[in-house]
Chain A
Amino acid sequence: MSFPNGCFRKTRRLRIRPVPEREVCLVYTPKSPNLYTLNATAWVVLELCDGRSLASLQKAFHSAVEPLMSEREAAEYLLVSLRDMIEKSIVEVVPGTGSQRARPQKGRVAT
């Protein structure tokens, strides 16, 4: 799966339920009904998916996880997470120019 010029955002109607007691985040995808549990690192990836390009995501994610992950490790983790979350309809890719962000967007956080 490649993402030429794509921008990444949470799918519409997504519900996000932080569970800080267990350091995870629950995500409900109503379009394809499922409840997923994201660990803390995947949760960071999801939060960054606000319409950014891949390059912007890579930079922001590495910044969030260094020094625990090297730049290469962070890039690999990010790609695996994005593929997984796209497959699960948690994140979607929308057209972008690569340098431009799509319209900022947030999931519905169940507070």
Chain B
Amino acid sequence: MTPSFERPPKVTFALTETCNLECRHCYADCKKTGKRPELSTGEWFGLIDYLAANGVIQTYIEGGEPLHRPDIFRILRRAAGKMMTLLRTNGTLVDAAMARRLKRSGVGHVFVDLMGACRETHDWFAGVDGSFALASAAVKHLVGAGIKTDVLTILNKRNAGEIQAILELAHALGAQRVGVLRLYPLGRVKRAWPELALSLDEQMRVIAALQPPAGLGLMQSWHPRDRNCCWQSATVNAFGDSIGCPYLREYVNHGNVKDVPFMTMWDTNTLYKTLRAGEVETSCANCDTNDGSRGGCRSTAYAFRGSWTAPDPFCPTLNDGVDLRVLPEWLLQENPAPSD
């Protein structure tokens, strides 16, 4: 039976679509300045208070680059007073003073992106020279400030040979865990897909060969850990849209929190309810480290198969001949929607 929540205990805030970097792999196509008005400080305060009153006890704050927002510390303090607050950052704005300020603001856990184990690779992705040095230093500063810190990386053709080295670097910097994430066909990275996408076999070989240093945790979501997280997903983007999951950002909009209370969307939006119900055509019997969910990630299932109930092609059992190096054409449209 698919797990379910009557109300979401955890919510993601994709706080901004602005960023100080120019990452080739950006899922939101971020710019230094906003494309349209984002939720104001007061609107985020209102949403945090409302969600806390409705049982939300953890928030994961990402972007864009959340620290690029001038009001970020006010928002962090507001959230951390009510919810366990996790923050994902590119790390380039985190010096020792910033790390201490994050600690004082109540942030409980930080995730820093490292796209390579060396300057050449990481800075190529980030599009800004010096990013690797700053991001690596950020991990040290955060650990030094007493904040639990993990490193995240996105596996792709350009860094596949460095993932083991990223694990070792993260360990040396004091990170507790490394999350190796799949490459999603979203935002700017779609235009670089042929250059960056690996076949599923290539991805599985990299994951199977990883040997985390003693004491370092490894998070990965390939078989047998391919989850269908939609049952518990709740995300509000920078503009107030309820999008379920950050990886559904281009496919889903359940409504805007400025127009409809979040819980009303949670309770009544048909697609939101369908996705949370976890109905899938078929699932992998051996993906058993997945919270009891079925069918794998809905974002990649929808992207490559154009159906919410299709199996996830990132699981070898369910792949059924889908070449993950080839992007379906509809994903490159302005407002992607699969053709019938």
Contact A26–B57 (Cβ < 8 Å): yes
* Residue of B3, B9, B53, B106 with highest tally of chain A CB at under 10 A: B9
Q: Which of B4, B53, B57 contacts A28 (CB 8 A)?
A: B57
Q: Is A100 an interface residue (CB 8 A)?
A: no
Q: C-beta contact mask, A29-41 vs B, less than 8 Å → 1, else 0? A: 0100111000000
A26 to B83 Cα, complex, angstroms: 11
Q: Is A21 an interface residue (CB 8 A)?
A: yes
Q: Which of A13, A21, A35, A111 contacts B84 (CB 8 A)?
A: A35
Contact B82–A15 (Cβ < 8 Å): yes
Q: Is B81 an interface residue (CB 8 A)?
A: yes
Q: Is A12 an interface residue (CB 8 A)?
A: no
* Residue of B55, B106, B107 with highest tally of chain A CB at under 10 A: B55
Chain A proximity of B228: nearest CB distance (Å): 17
Q: Is A22 an interface residue (CB 8 A)?
A: yes
Query: Quick one: which of B43-78 are within 8 Å of A by CB?
Result: 52-53, 55-58
Query: Looking at chain B's contact residues, is the secondary structure mostly helix, strand, loop, or mixed?
Result: loop
Contact A21–B6 (Cβ < 8 Å): yes
Residues of chain B lying within 8 A (CB to CB) of residue A15:
57, 82-83
Chain A residue with the shortest CB-CB distance to B103: A33
Q: Is A88 an interface residue (CB 8 A)?
A: no
Q: Is B85 an interface residue (CB 8 A)?
A: yes
Contact B107–A19 (Cβ < 8 Å): no
Chain B residue with the shortest CB-CB distance to A110: B55
A90 to B106 Cα, complex, angstroms: 16
Residues of chain A lying within 8 A (CB to CB) of residue B5:
19, 21
A17 to B84 Cα, complex, angstroms: 12
Chain B residue with the shortest CB-CB distance to A17: B57
Contact A17–B9 (Cβ < 8 Å): yes
User: Given contacts A26-B9, A33-B108, is CB(A110)–CB(B84) below 8 Å?
Assistant: no
A19 to B3 Cα, complex, angstroms: 12
Query: Quick one: which of B1-43 are within 8 Å of A by CB?
Result: 3-6, 9
A30 to B85 Cα, complex, angstroms: 9
Q: C-beta contact mask, A3-47 vs B, less than 8 Å → 1, else 0? A: 000000000010101010110001010100111000000000000
Chain A proximity of B254: nearest CB distance (Å): 21
Residues of chain A lying within 8 A (CB to CB) of residue B52:
110
Q: C-beta contact mask, A45-67 vs B, less than 8 Å → 1, else 0? A: 00000000000000000000000
Contact B107–A110 (Cβ < 8 Å): no
Residues of chain B lying within 8 A (CB to CB) of residue A21:
3-6
Q: Which of A22, A33, A110 contacts B56 (CB 8 A)?
A: A110
Top 10 nearest A-B pairs by Cβ distance?
Answer: A33-B108, A35-B84, A17-B57, A110-B55, A28-B84, A28-B57, A26-B57, A35-B58, A110-B57, A17-B9
